[in-house]
Amino acid sequence: MADEPKKPRSLDDLKERLGKGTPRRPSRSPAFPVASPKGFGGVPPVVKAPFGAPAAGPETSGEDEVFGVADGGAQPVQEVRLTIDEADIARAHAGQKRWLRATLALLAVFVLGALMGGGFGSSLGDRKLFNLALDDALRIKSKVEEATPKVDAARKHVSDALTAASGSDAKPSLDTAALDALFALEQPFKAGEFSRRRYSALNPATVDALFQYYNALTLAWQDVARLKSIAMSPAARKVLEDAAKSAGAGAGAASACIPLGGKGPARCALAFISEEKSDLGSGTIAVSESAAGAVVNKEAYQSGDLESRHAIIVDMGRSRGVLGRQTSAFDEYRGRLESIARQLTLAETKGREVVGELVKVEQEIKPVFSF
């Protein structure tokens, strides 16, 4: 069989035989499917390589390559690998947690600081108010102590005048020296001494006693002012002196009570006293059933069995509310003195109570720190 003539082989066939043909490029799927356009020469669109890999250059023909190396110096396809380190992720999470804790701590410090600042400011204000109240309490104590000698002096003068007016020896009189000394005293501890003060450092009982102390002094000096109107001028004193003499002679007892006989509870009948015919020194009282009636002598009752021969002198000054008789000027004078004595006694008691409590406040309570 005759040898067939050899056909010339192309360069591509030679490269394929030697295993040095142009390597086939791996097919890459695009990030999203792209339909190959038809009717435009069948050339697929160029898709960019993912992860920053260099895009493939234009294809070269077999004539441009010599043993698989393109003249354009095309780089081989690079493989990109992603390495995930779990330690780095843990550190990142830990950092986020630290940042969150630091933020929360900073916020908590800010809020706590604001609360502490507000509380400190409020506490500081309360301390200042308490110190002011304590200072006011000590001022009140000082004023009450200053008023005490005047109250004691007033009580002594009133007591002397009242003793003379009572007439323990049946001879009432007018103590002008005691009256002059009493009228010379001005009212101590007026309203300005304790008004607009702070009482938070005092207990309620002390505050009540303080107001009672002031009220008693005010009423006492109001009675002193009324007493001046009936016992200060020379003419007024002359009237009182005459009234005192008449009271000592029995004019203050213009009526008498005559005991009635019979069984059962003792009873008496009122009778007029004839001042001209009565002799109180010997105990003889001339009485009559009417102002113009017959006069009968009775014996002034002293003690023992009460009989119809006796007569009991009626104190008209203390019986004016019942008998409806006008009291004498001397009875009014004596009544004013008694009222002043009662108010001064109350003031002395309440003043001693107030000072005692304020001394405890001064000793036991100290000022608190404040700016």
pLDDT recorded at residue 336: 92
The model scores a pTM over 0.75: no
Residue 57, in any domain of the structure:
no
Q: Residue 104 falls within a domain, yes or no?
A: no
When the pLDDT of each residue in the chain is averaged and rounded to a whole number, the result is 74
Kindly state whether residue 347 falls inside one of the protein's structural domains.
Answer: yes
Same domain, 206 and 309: no
Instruction: Give pLDDT, residue 152.
Output: 95
**Residue range 145-173, pLDDT digits in tens:** 999 999 999 999 999 999 998 876 557 88
CA distance 116 to 108: 12
Both 158 and 259 in a single domain? no
| C-alpha to C-alpha distance for 87 and 82, rounded to whole angstroms | 15
Q: Which of 18-32, 135-149, 170-184 is the least confident region?
A: 18-32
Query: Structure tokens of 94?
Result: 């830990």
Residue 52 resides in a domain: no
Residues 170 and 239 in one domain: yes
Same domain assignment for residues 125 and 177: yes
**For residue 176, what pLDDT is reported?**
92
What is the reported pLDDT for 369? 44
User: What is the rounded distance in angstroms from the CA atom of residue 368 to the CA atom of residue 126?
Assistant: 10
Could you tell me if 255 and 268 are in contact, meaning their C-beta atoms sit under 8 angstroms apart? no
Residues 222 and 346 in one domain: yes
Largest Cα span, the chain: 210
Q: What is the pLDDT of residues 327-356, one digit of tens each?
A: 467 888 988 999 999 999 999 999 999 999
Same domain, 309 and 170: no
Highest mean pLDDT among 55-59, 305-309, 366-370: 305-309
Instruction: Give the Å distances, CA to CA, from 214 to 17, 97, 144, 145, 191.
Output: 135, 71, 10, 13, 7
Domain count, the chain: 2
Q: What is the pLDDT of residues 39-72, one digit of tens each?
A: 444 455 555 555 444 555 555 544 544 444 444 4
Tokens of 29: 């799927």
**pLDDT tens, 217-273?**
999 999 999 999 989 889 888 888 877 776 654 444 468 888 887 777 888 888 888
Whether residue 199 is contained in a domain is answered as yes
Is the domain of 304 the same as that of 337? no
* Digit-coded pLDDT (tens) for 129-150: 667 777 888 888 899 999 999 9
Of 272, 289, 314, the last residue of a domain is 314
Q: Which residue has the higher pLDDT, 33 or 88?
A: 88
Region 266-292: mean pLDDT is 83
What pLDDT is attached to residue 115?
63
Q: Which pLDDT belongs to residue 242?
A: 76
Domain match, 153 and 235 both? yes
Q: Clarify whether residues 219 and 239 are in a common domain.
A: yes
State yes or no: pLDDT of 370 exceeds 70. no
Ranges 84-93, 105-114, 293-302, most confident: 293-302
Residues 240 and 334 in one domain: yes
Q: Which range of residues forms the domain containing residue 264? A: 253-314
Q: Please report whether residue 28 resides in a domain.
A: no
Residue 98 lies in a domain: no
Residue 304 DSSP symbol: S
Within its chain, how far is the Cα of 190 from the centroid? 25
The pLDDT value given to residue 69: 47
Give Cα separations from 338 to 163, 244, 298, 329 (angstroms).
10, 16, 33, 14
Q: Dihedral sign, CA of 318, 323, 324, 329?
A: negative
Whether residue 144 is found in the same domain as residue 230: yes
Assess whether pLDDT exceeds 80 at residue 358: yes
List, in order, residues 6 or more apart from 45 with CB less than 8 Å away: 34, 37
216 inside domain: yes
Asked if residue 336 and residue 196 are part of one domain, the reply reads yes
